[in-house]
Amino acid sequence: MGKLDGRVALVTGAGRGIGAATAIKLAADGAAVIVNDRDRDEAAATARRIITTVGKAVCVVADLTTSGAAENLIEESLRAFGGLDIIVNNAGYVWNGAVQNHSDEQWAAMLDMHAGAPFRVLRAWYPWLKQTTTRELEAGGPMRCRKVVNISSVSGTTGAATQIAYSAGKSAVVGITKTLAKEWGRFNVTVNAVAFGHIDTRLTQTYDSVPPTIRVGDRAFKVGLSTEQAESVRAATPLGRSGVPDDAAGAIMLFCFPESDFVTGQILTCSGGP
């Protein structure tokens, strides 16, 4: 028996990295998982891995920055397993540059991805949430404790050079989290966030001379840390290493388990140190 038996979880950006690791952990503990990503092949691969090894999953492909995508994602999620108890707002990417080099497009893109997308997903969930919790109360209660875990970053809690737009978006996640914790307590929903430090993913991969790129839609974005930067980060981390996706997923899971049913509005830093 898993701690999340009978629960349904949605993880955005679950095609790879932290999102994939989280989706797999949720499924391993009994949750039926909706795997969302804008990359169809990656989403399908995560869903297949869950189905063939640990549990139940479906993939729903959606770019959450496009009009109507959040609403469609919630509809598909509810249709897949008949309910939705856990939402992990993980999808995101980086578009870095010093403030003087930031364009209006860059600023808007980072805020829309990291603050706008979670906002729209949670707003789209609200009608079903309100209807369902009202029905639970009318049936004599109690309301099921449901969970939201938003993904922030130490860039959003302490700032980071060359990441003014990304940092602003991740800072907004803190405000979203604390506000919805107050609004949705009446529905017995806990709303928390995890702020990550350096986690080894494709966004933080190490390079020697030429920065690698990732593609988001029809654009390529430079990502990663130079070998020197990566070594500096590790040296400054009390645990002496970078995190891996399973470390990050473990922190997210703390807010998904029943043990955290009386914890809400909190920001957990997962960075290998203070």
Q: What is the mean pLDDT of residues 4-17?
A: 98
Instruction: Respond yes or no on whether the N-terminal peptide bond of residue 211 is cis (omega within 30° of 0).
Output: no
* CATH code for the structural domain at 8-270: 3.40.50.720
Query: What is the reported pLDDT for 79?
Result: 98
Asked if residue 227 has pLDDT above 90, the reply is no
Cβ(271)–Cβ(196) under 8 Å?
yes
Asked if residue 7 has pLDDT above 90, the reply is yes
Write the burial class of residue 7 (CB in 10 Å: 0-12 exposed, 13-18 middle, 19+ buried): buried
What is the chain's Cα-based Rg? 18
Neighbours of 134 (CB within 10 A): 12
Query: What is the reported pLDDT for 1?
Result: 80
Asked if residue 224 has pLDDT above 90, the reply is no
Query: What is the reported pLDDT for 34?
Result: 98
Give the pLDDT band of residue 163 (cuts 50, 70, 90). Answer: very high
Query: What is the reported pLDDT for 49?
Result: 98
Where does residue 221 fall: left (phi above 0), alpha (psi -120 to 50 degrees), or beta otherwise?
Answer: beta
pTM: 0.94
What tokens appear for 264 in the block?
Answer: 């809400």
What tokens appear for 255 in the block?
Answer: 């807010």
Catalytic residues, by residue number, are: 166
Asked if residue 142 has pLDDT above 80, the reply is yes
Cβ(113)–Cβ(56) under 8 Å?
no
Angle at which helices 245-254 and 17-28 pack, to 10 degrees?
50
| 172-195 core/surface letters (b: 16 or more CB in 10 A; e: else) | bbbebbbebbeebeebbbbbbbbb
Q: What is the mean pLDDT of residues 173-180?
A: 98
Q: What is the mean pLDDT of residues 95-118?
A: 96
Q: What is the mean pLDDT of residues 11-37?
A: 98
Q: What is the mean pLDDT of residues 57-62?
A: 98
Average pLDDT score over the chain: 95
Query: What is the reported pLDDT for 154?
Result: 96
Asked if residue 216 has pLDDT above 80, the reply is yes
**Which region among 63-77, 144-158, 217-231 has the lowest average model confidence (pLDDT)?**
217-231
For 235-268, write each residue's pLDDT tens digit. Answer: 889 999 999 999 999 999 999 999 999 999 999 9
What is the β-pairing status of strands 57-61 and 32-37? Answer: parallel
**Which region among 136-145, 214-223, 251-260 has the lowest average model confidence (pLDDT)?**
214-223
Give the pLDDT band of residue 122 (cuts 50, 70, 90). Answer: very high
Domain spans of the chain? 8-270
Query: What is the reported pLDDT for 131?
Result: 98
Listed in sequence order, the residues at least 6 apart from 99 whose beta carbon sits closer than 8 Å to its beta carbon are 164
Please choose, from the candidates 178, 206, 179, 191, the residue with its C-alpha nearest in 3D space to the C-alpha of residue 149: 191
Query: What is the reported pLDDT for 48?
Result: 98
Whole-angstrom Cα distance, residue 1 to residue 123? Answer: 32
- The dihedral built from the CA positions of residue 43, 75, 7 and 121, taken in this order, carries a sign that is positive
Query: What is the reported pLDDT for 264?
Result: 98
Give the pLDDT band of residue 146 (cuts 50, 70, 90). Answer: very high
What is the percent of the chain where pLDDT is above 70?
100
How do the residues of the chain divide into helix, strand and coil, expressed in percent and rounded to 5? 45, 20, 35
Asked if residue 214 has pLDDT above 80, the reply is no
Query: What is the reported pLDDT for 170?
Result: 98
Asked if residue 133 has pLDDT above 80, the reply is yes
